[in-house]
């Protein structure tokens, strides 16, 4: 992390805190949701029950000796945290390890009949197939007649807000998008972002887009990528997704394919975007990456050399979502006025964060903005998903 005074990493041992609620309430609810999503056999039910008990009253258990990723998790800190309470180790680590244990419980890593079956797939598909998605995609028809710059700004905000806002409203009326979205922004470096992606087909730069959620958030991410490619603002997009199901709705390669199928099956402009993206994947203009570090319980400051080299070579890396933001700046309770540029100084190239606020971590705010938010909402503005930010470090 940067050479500035850093507060301790966030843990979940304080009752009533947001991290404690995730560990004590959200994780058990996720186990029950997964249990009901498939007709799992008794062995899986027993494994899920054991994980539920561990979350409530147990301690972190090591991976089996024959686990395919045991050495990787040991390098990521498992030896130091095994035998300790889920609540007293870094929250980012305990959350990540919970999902690894959940996948083990449902037999995802096999061998067996449930190998490779995404336990979150039913909820992902339900969101992708919802009528609201049809409305959002239909709004693309109206957006197509707008100037390219206006389209870009609308699609950027669609990617920012994802499924936390009415994307259809924003896309169908770019003026309304500005009026509705900007008041919710606690920081807005969008003009700096656009300056890093010059509108020139000769530029031929590379965009690394680090995706967050599948479904109705991944669709606008893909639409933004399609726009940037079509307008020549970048020559290539590297779309970074998770190597396996993670944090309920995080995007995997299978989710990218599902989203593209959803686009190509829709009428009008949505299908045209889908076909262009499908062709871009086929010719390598859009390339999917699923690096193991994408599911690591560590901040990006500890990224491996090969990933660092890829980000260093990019014209810009856009990091999407709340979890990726926590990993980008470090999962610490920074004073909100800590400069974003300082806490991301380690990053090997220009980086932009597009994030809806759904956890306590935030940096780069003005003192005036922090004071106004706290006066109006207490600390709820940090976690409620009603505010967002676009931050850039060049």
Q: What is the 3-state secondary structure (H, E, C) of 356-387?
A: ECCCCCCCCCCHHHHHHHHHHHCCHHHCCCCC
Among 81, 98, 119, identify where a domain stops.
119
Q: Say how many C-beta atoms besides its own lie within 10 A of residue 354's C-beta.
A: 28
User: Which tokens in the block code for residue 176?
Assistant: 């309304």
User: Do 112 and 144 fall into the same domain?
Assistant: no
Q: Which residues of the chain have pLDDT under 70?
A: 1-3, 163-183, 200-203
Any idea which residue has 């570090």 for tokens? 293
> How would you list the strands of the sheet with 286-289, edge to edge?
185-188, 388-393, 351-356, 316-320, 206-210, 236-240, 286-289
pLDDT of residue 288: 98
User: Do 308 and 349 fall into the same domain?
Assistant: yes
248 within some domain? yes
Give pLDDT tens digits for 210-221: 999 999 999 999
What are the DSSP E strand ranges found in 133-280? Answer: 185-188, 206-210, 236-240
2 within some domain? no
pLDDT of residue 162: 82
Kindly report whether the global pTM for this prediction surpasses the value 0.75.
yes
Which CATH number do you get for residue 197? 3.40.50.10880
pLDDT of residue 169: 29
User: Do 188 and 249 fall into the same domain?
Assistant: yes
1 within some domain? no
User: Do 85 and 177 fall into the same domain?
Assistant: no
User: Do 273 and 354 fall into the same domain?
Assistant: yes
Residue 37 sits in which domain range?
18-119
Among 119, 140, 169, identify where a domain stops.
119
User: Which tokens in the block code for residue 107?
Assistant: 């037999």
User: Do 107 and 155 fall into the same domain?
Assistant: no
């Amino acid at each position: 992390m940067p050479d500035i005074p850093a507060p301790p990493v966030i843990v979940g041992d304080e009752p009533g805190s947001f991290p404690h609620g995730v560990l004590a309430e959200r994780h058990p609810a996720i186990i029950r949701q997964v249990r009901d999503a498939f007709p799992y056999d008794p062995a899986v039910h027993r494994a899920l029950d054991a994980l539920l008990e561990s979350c409530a009253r147990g301690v972190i258990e090591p991976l089996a000796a024959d686990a395919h990723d045991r050495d990787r998790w040991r390098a990521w800190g498992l030896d130091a945290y095994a035998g300790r309470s889920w609540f007293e180790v870094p929250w980012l680590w305990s959350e990540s390890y919970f999902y690894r244990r959940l996948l083990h419980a449902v037999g995802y890593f096999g061998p067996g009949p449930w190998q490779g079956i995404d336990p979150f797939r039913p909820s992902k598909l339900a969101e992708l197939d919802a009528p609201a998605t049809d409305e959002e995609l239909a709004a693309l028809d109206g957006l197509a007649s707008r100037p390219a710059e206006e389209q870009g700004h609308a699609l950027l905000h669609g990617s920012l807000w994802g499924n936390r806002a009415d994307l259809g409203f924003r896309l169908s009326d770019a003026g309304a998008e500005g009026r509705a979205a900007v008041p919710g922004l606690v920081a807005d470096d969008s003009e700096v972002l656009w300056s890093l992606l010059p509108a020139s087909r000769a530029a031929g730069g590379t965009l690394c887009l680090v995706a967050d959620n599948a479904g109705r958030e991944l669709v606008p991410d893909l639409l933004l990528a399609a726009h940037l490619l079509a307008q020549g603002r970048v020559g290539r997009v590297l779309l970074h997704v998770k190597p396996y199901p993670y944090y309920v709705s995080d995007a995997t390669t299978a989710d990218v394919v599902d989203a593209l199928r959803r686009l190509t099956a829709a009428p009008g402009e949505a299908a045209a975007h889908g076909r262009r993206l499908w062709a871009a994947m086929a010719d390598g203009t859009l390339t999917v990456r699923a690096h193991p570090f994408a599911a690591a319980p560590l901040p990006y400051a500890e990224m491996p050399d090969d990933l660092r080299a890829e980000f260093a070579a990019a014209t810009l890396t856009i990091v999407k979502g709340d979890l990726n933001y926590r990993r980008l700046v470090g999962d610490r309770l920074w004073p909100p006025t800590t400069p974003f540029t300082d806490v991301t100084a380690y990053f090997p190239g220009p980086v932009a964060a597009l994030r809806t606020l759904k956890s306590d971590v935030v940096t780069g705010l003005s003192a005036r903005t922090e004071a106004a938010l706290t006066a109006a909402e207490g600390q709820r503005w940090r976690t409620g998903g009603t505010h967002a930010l676009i931050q850039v470090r060049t």
